Amino acid sequence: MCKQQLLYVIASVIFYTSIPLPYINGLEFQKVAYFAPALGLMIGGSLGLFDATINCLGIPVLTRSALIVIVWIAITGGLHLDGAMDTADGLAVGDPERRLQVMADSATGAFGAMAAVAILLLKTAALVDISENRYLLLMAACGWGRWGQQVAICRYPYLKPTGKGAFHKQAIRSYTDLLPSLFLLIGLSGLVWLINPQNLFLSIGMLLWGCAIALLTAAWFNYKLGGHTGDTYGAVVEWTEALFLCVMTVLGNG
């Protein structure tokens, strides 16, 4: 990895997480979205390591799963969850002309709170029901969620002339920019099969369902709003992660 790419990765960590890193001169944030899925795999791997550690302490699966979701929020600083909450508040407004205005309001409404509760419950419940391959599925969930964000950036218009998500368009300019992360996620699915050939069904399911959920989630928010904003990018990440884990409850137990 060249120095410039390393700087992009560091910028991605600073932008998308709450991990404290020292200040570095010359950081550029215009391409952080390009590295988001790779960062997602690192976040998922960290969560998997945390899960294995507290499992060795004998912590029951329900408590363990809840702790994973809490650490998940802590690592990301609630960035994507906040976007999902703002998006839910905006979609609850009947007047399409006011939706963006409501989403820009920092105050959380009832629908935003309900969306957050739903996402956290789905993730926790799904993790409770997944007894095997948990670390791999956490990595895949975080990776596909951020690939869905890339799809939303590439495929659909940005609804604001300015905003915290507008510069992502500079990172994902065409469908070819989606391919490196897609190949990375395909590689993760292949790794699942290489680790255990009996996991072939799981490997294929991770790839097909991850791709489908990411694409459909990005498309659904575009259908509802006529485009995307920084908040809906976060909503795509959160809902893709949650729905992916829910589907994996069927496939992830061998």
Domain regions of the chain by residue span: 37-251
Amino acid identity, residue 252?
Answer: G
pLDDT of 5 strictly over 80: no
The terminus-to-terminus CA distance of the chain in angstroms comes to 36
Rounded to two decimals, what is the model's pTM?
0.94
Give the model confidence (pLDDT) of 103-152 as tens digits: 877 777 889 999 999 999 999 999 999 988 999 999 999 999 999 999 99
What whole-number percentage of the chain has pLDDT above 90? 69
Residue carrying the six token digits 């395909």: 186
Give the model confidence (pLDDT) of 185-206 as tens digits: 999 999 999 988 888 999 999 9
Higher-scoring residue by pLDDT: 182, 108: 182
**Residue 108, φ and ψ in degrees, nearest 5:** -90, 130
Q: How sure is the predictor about 67, in pLDDT bands with cuts at 50, 70 and 90?
A: very high
Give the model confidence (pLDDT) of 224-238 as tens digits: 999 999 999 999 999
- Residue 242 confidence (pLDDT): 98
Q: What tokens were used for 28? A: 């550029």
Q: Is the Cβ–Cβ distance between 69 and 238 less than 8 Å?
A: no
Best CA proximity match to 231, nearest among 156, 164, 145:
164
Instruction: State the chain's mean pLDDT as an integer.
Output: 91
